[in-house]
Amino acid sequence: MPGLTLADARIALDAGLAEADTIGQPMNVAVVDDGGHLLAFARQEGAIRASIDIAQRKARTSVLMEAPTAALMPLVQPGAELYGLEQTAGGLVVFGGGIPVHRDGVLVGAVGVSAGSAEQDVQVATAAVAAISTPVPA
Footprint on this chain of a second copy (rule: CB under 8 A):
5-6, 9-10, 33-45, 48-54, 57, 61, 63-66, 73, 76-79, 81-95, 117-118
Distance CA 95, CA 41 (A): 19
Q: Please, what is the minimum distance in Å from the beta carbon of residue 130 to a second copy?
A: 21
Q: How many residues in total does the chain contain?
A: 138
Q: Is 27 exposed, middle or buried (0-12, 13-18, 19+ CB in 10 A)?
A: buried
Distances (CA, A) of 11 to 14, 39, 48: 5, 12, 23
